[in-house]
Amino acid sequence: MAKQKKFIFVTGGVLSSIGKGISAASIGMLMEQRGLKVTMIKMDPYLNVDPGTMSPFQHGEVFVLDDGAETDLDLGHYSRFVQSAQFTRKNSFTTGRIYDAVIRRERAGGYLGKTVQVIPHITDEIKRHMHEASNDVDLAIVEVGGTVGDIESLPFLEAIRQMRAEQGADNVLFVHLTLVPYIATAGELKTKPTQHSVRELREIGIQPDILLCRSDRKLPKDVKDKIGLFCNVPGEQVFSAIDVSSIYEVPLYFHEEGLDEKIAEKLGIWSGRPDLSKWAHMVEKIRNPKHEITIGIVGKYTDWRDSYKSLSEALIHGGVANDVRVNMLYIDSEEVEKGKDELLRSVDGILIPGGFGERGVEGKIQAIQYARQEGVPFFGICLGMQLAVIEFSRHVAGLKEANSAEFKPEGKENVIDIMESQKNLTDKGGTMRLGAYACQVQTKSAGKTTRAYSAYGRETISERHRHRFEVSNQFRAILEEKGLVFSGKHRNTENGTELVEMAELPNHPWFLGCQFHPEFLSKPLMPHPLFTAFIRAVRDANKGPQHSLKGIK
């Protein structure tokens, strides 16, 4: 007889950005450490089919999976906290994707003339997606995006309400994250927002089993009991979710509160206590590092840090691997264009992240030129690598008009160009190289081990991509002749062409760019090799840049 699959549904109330993603990921981490096979699912209530075309200012970063799925940034949290789960496009879906599937089926005659309605057709499709994403696991943790009370989330909430009736109360657990603010003038923790949020849930037929109460301090027992009384939840099932200095402390705090033990009890799960020693050691290294450095992240989304969420976390992971606290200074590339070179002089290493569009590009190129000429450790990711190739082409290889077809489509020296096979495609998603691609790492150049091979220690790797433009093979020979080493390449098995994956400068303290997004594979217990190598190089440099951009053209 097959083992009964369990579900935990995580909802949030009062306000957005309350921490559902981190809470769900922390629960997943704890239950995985108890020996369960866990998967995570994110349901987002917006009508976009996926976040791929959404502005980073509105929705933060787009997190890409191996299969090319463009997903919500919470999939990044899940990937960093739950170590063994393999996520695919099945683990993330939106209202738009659900409605698209139902409408396509209706147009194909799939409903045999029935009137298509939210209930049961939309809710059935939601449930079908949840079951499909949770095959062969012991526990599926499903985060419902949005805030309880929003009209957009209602079909998802109705679907999870039905799940309890269909799967049985012993196999479904509702966890609700809410806010308990401390009002300083009154000197009190206020429970009314939580009461109203739970009332909203109960009005649509969902009684939460566990309440996670977000607050800046631990909730006393009497406050927990009061919340439990008004929300029809036993006081021992009300847990504090306090603000912490690092998101990686959250599962340790939840375990200290007894959350995972209560979940196991409520779902009838027999398991051992989790071994959190490695995780606790990692957190201790974040709290008390031996060294400290500052990395300048030169980009154009610097006012919205969620645009670089995986990047900032990967830098922290690289710091953990090197006993380093990584301070991040976000530098608006347009400010560099205006001549504010003191921003670059104040950092120990420079990183240019991925991005799209021409705004701020020349400021990024200036920052790259500064790093190259002044010997500042440099790391370029996706667009960052492309701009490093453009900078080298202009100022070293003599290609004065070097540019990208993204910014100058008719340029004669476009060292960055779109793939020939993609030039006539009109679908924006169809022109992108998305997901995991193999890369062959060059071991040596001019008798010296390449930076890429030193970092990875192997000749074949796989990394995730999200881009539309590539280094043009037309200009590779002249760039290599001038000293740029293309230390990673992807070979297209269908037509035999090569695509550049990594470029580096051998006679520099550390200067490397990659076409892929290594931040998507970094985990706190398994830092990515390139971030580890970059942070080590910055640490070993011992001092930041002391020079000026004056005179650099």
Active-site residue (options: 382, 395, 463, 514): 382
| Residue spans of alpha helices (H) in 259-305 | 259-266, 277-287
Active site residue 261: no
E-assigned strand segments in 221-271 = 238-242
Q: What whole-number distance in Å separates Cα of residue 76 and Cα of residue 62?
A: 9
Full 3-state SS string of 453-500? HHHHCCCEEEEEEEECEEECHHHHHHHHHCCCEEEEEEECCCCCCEEE
Residues 464 and 66: beta-carbon distance below 8 Å: yes
For residue 120, cis peptide bond before it (omega within 30 degrees of 0): yes
Looking up tokens 């030169």 gives 298
393 class by beta-carbon count within 10 Å (0-12 exposed, 13-18 middle, 19+ buried): buried
226: left (phi over 0), alpha (psi -120 to 50) or beta: alpha
Contact 72, 65 (CB under 8 A): no
Measured from the Cβ of residue 292, the count of other Cβ atoms closer than 10 Å reads 12
Q: Residue with structure tokens 């994707």?
A: 97
Residue type present at position 175: V
- Name the one residue in this structure whose structure tokens are 């985060």: 143
The residue from 129, 391, 519, 528 that is catalytic is 519
Cα end-to-end distance, the chain, whole Å: 72
Among 292, 360, 54, 456, CA closest to 352: 360
- What whole-number distance in Å separates Cα of residue 537 and Cα of residue 322? 10
| β-bridge pairing 70-71 and 63-64 | antiparallel
Is residue 517 flagged as an active site residue? yes
Q: Which residue has the tokens 């991040």?
A: 328
- How far is the C-alpha of 50 from the C-alpha of 44, rounded, in Å? 9
For the annotated catalytic residues, the residue numbers are 382, 517, 519
